[in-house]
Structure 1
Amino acid sequence: MDPEMETPEIVKVTPLQQMLASCTGAILTSLIVTPLDVVKIRLQAQSNTLTKGKCFLYSNGLMDHLCVCEEGGNKVWYKKPGCFQGTLDAFLKIIRNEGITSLWSGLPPTLVMAVPATVIYFTCYDQLTALLRSKLGENETRIPIVAGIVARFGAVTVISPLELIRTKIQSKKFSYKELHQFVSKKVAEDGWISLWRGWAPTILRDVPFSAMYWYNYEVLRKWLCEKSGLYEPTFTINFTSGALSGAFAAVATLPFDVVKTRKQTQLWIYESHKSNWPLNMTTWVIMKNIVAENGFPGLFTGLVPRLIKIAPACAIMISTYEFGKTFFKEQNIRSQQY
């Protein structure tokens, strides 16, 4: 008998199954991390009043949301009153006084953006990784870097126009007709490229983050498996590798995150107050201005909050995603056996 006939067929996870696994991971990550940011914003709001027109950055670890304060007093979730003594106290008082669902305020726009972006990103990464390994070999160390760069580049480019629209929607309530008029006017004045404003600093932050994250994740996961004497990584190994890789990439790319936030904020101030702030400032010019104003440490503003969000978000996302793929792989094996 031909020996090749006895070799068991490698069971693969289909692209649709990868999309379902990444979708589940994105939803679970949003559900877990969103309350942390809601509490953080509420604590900031009580110490520094959020006045009309002022921006603040809301993030769940997967997506950034540039929220703009509007009138209405306590009608919006970030302006609800509270007297919080700390993070735990804020959690308990919000649950007791406003109900537990208040911890997930602002979740819908997060899911609308985070789920498709995450599905595109993770599915493309896995598909590219499989393709490159079939061409270059399983042990090629550059594969995670290349696949991570291409996947993130594509995801950011597809989602970028929606970010501009989402920021406008968050500023005030718009009808679909008003939103269509806004987009049409924007395109007529500045061309289609205007819908990708802020794309460059996002790319400079997310693409290096993706390259470093996936390379370190694959290396750490392999190393931890070898140390544990395991052939396949466990949930704990995936979780640990994701957290450490996310933390390292978050620190390394923080300066570009600071630039992206400032550029978004300037865009909103220009839109709402018609200021004379130049919108054509390059990323490097903004970085130079930040260093001139606040010194080199200014490029690493918000390091601790970013680490607190990014590390667990990466850990939850990747471990859930890998768990989902393992589940579907086992289902595929069972279906072949029967």
Structure 2
Amino acid sequence: MSVPGQVVYMVGYDWGRRTAFAHAPEWAVVPPRVGETETRLSPVYLTVVPLFAGALSRTVVAALLSPAELLRTQLQAQTSSSRTSLLSLVQNLRWTTAWKGLGPTLWRDVPFSGIYWAGYEGIKRALTGKGLGEGTGTLGKAGGTDRDDKWKEFGAAFVSGAGSGMIAATLTNPFDVVKTRRQALTAATHSPSSALPSPKTFSILADIARKEGWRGLTQGLTPRLAKVGPACGLMISVYEVVPSLLHRKHG
């Protein structure tokens, strides 16, 4: 995902999450425990909201970026003897083909995002008692300095993000295999915007499962985990810690 897309994705998720938490329905509100004064949100609601907020945000970003991704694929598929300018590709881009390939992208990325955010919020709450942007929670009660607390928050966010990202990558790997094979087929035919119908996602999945079994569906999983785990951990750690540091510095 491009940097602008990543920014829109993160901001969209955070906005959706905060909005849903701020307007929680009555069934999602848990009465205060003995000795407490504040109400809490139910564990189910705390899981469902990140799941749907992450999925919805990723859907919107994927739809917005799909035409640009198609143009990028077309440029990469060109041979040295058939170079076409970007302007010509844009002029030839049709409304009916601008979102070609969006389906397989959504099947891979939307479930990944939903699982990732639900997992991240759950793991971080289990470690710290707090969710996204809510601080260190129980990790910050040991009498350490503010700097110590920020390192603890960074560590908790990294572990939660890396762990959740690897879980999501494992569960959605079959859809990544499908998308990779579609891209390989597109590059081989040199016609990303071809009007010829391509096999449906689940038809390809069934064919892989029948011919190659479990090994085919998990193809490329190890390098994907090696990439996704650290990337997800680092991305969310920076997102959690840097804004609070800047706010404290300039506040």
Fold conserved between structures, TM > 0.5: yes
Is 1:198 paired with 2:101?
yes
Q: Which residue matches 1:159?
A: 65
Give the alignment partner of residue 310 of structure 1, picking from 221, 224, 228.
228
TM-score using structure 2 length: 0.77
Separation of aligned partners in 1, 2:205 and 2:232: 27
Contact 1:266 1:279 in 2 (8 A): no
SS at match of 1:195: coil
Q: Which residue matches 1:26?
A: none
Give the alignment partner of residue 271 of structure 1, picking from 184, 190, 195.
190
Separation of aligned partners in 2, 1:314 and 1:294: 30
Is 1:125 paired with 2:13?
yes
Separation of aligned partners in 2, 1:180 and 1:325: 39
Unaligned runs of 5+ in 1: 1-62, 64-113
SS at match of 1:234: helix
Structure 2 counterpart of 1:199, one-letter code: L
Contact 2:51 2:117 in 1 (8 A): yes
The C-alpha deviation readout for 1:24-47, integer Å capped at 9, x for no partner, is: xxxxxxxxxxxxxxxxxxxxxxxx
Q: Which residue matches 1:180?
A: 87
Q: Which residue matches 2:237?
A: 319
Aligned counterparts, 1:1-338, within 5 A: 63=1, 114-136=2-24, 139=41, 140-141=45-46, 142-172=48-78, 178-187=85-94, 192-226=95-129, 229-230=138-139, 234-271=153-190, 279-331=197-249, 334=251
SS at match of 2:198: coil
Separation of aligned partners in 2, 1:153 and 1:300: 24
Q: Which residue matches 1:105?
A: none
Separation of aligned partners in 1, 2:232 and 2:117: 11
Unaligned runs of 5+ in 2: 30-39, 130-135, 141-148
Q: CA 1:272–1:160 in 2, change beyond 3 Å: closer, same or farther?
A: closer
Separation of aligned partners in 2, 1:198 and 1:328: 40
Distance apart, 1:197 and its partner CA = 1.5
4+ residue segments displaced more than 6 Å:
none
Separation of aligned partners in 1, 2:67 and 2:96: 9
Distance apart, 1:272 and its partner CA = 5.6
Structure 1 counterpart of 2:239, one-letter code: Y
Structure 2 counterpart of 1:144, one-letter code: P
Structure 2 counterpart of 1:206, one-letter code: D
Root mean square deviation, CA, Å: 2.8
SS at match of 1:236: helix
SS at match of 2:199: coil
Separation of aligned partners in 1, 2:17 and 2:137: 25
Contact 1:259 1:287 in 2 (8 A): yes
Q: CA 1:125–1:331 in 2, change beyond 3 Å: closer, same or farther?
A: farther
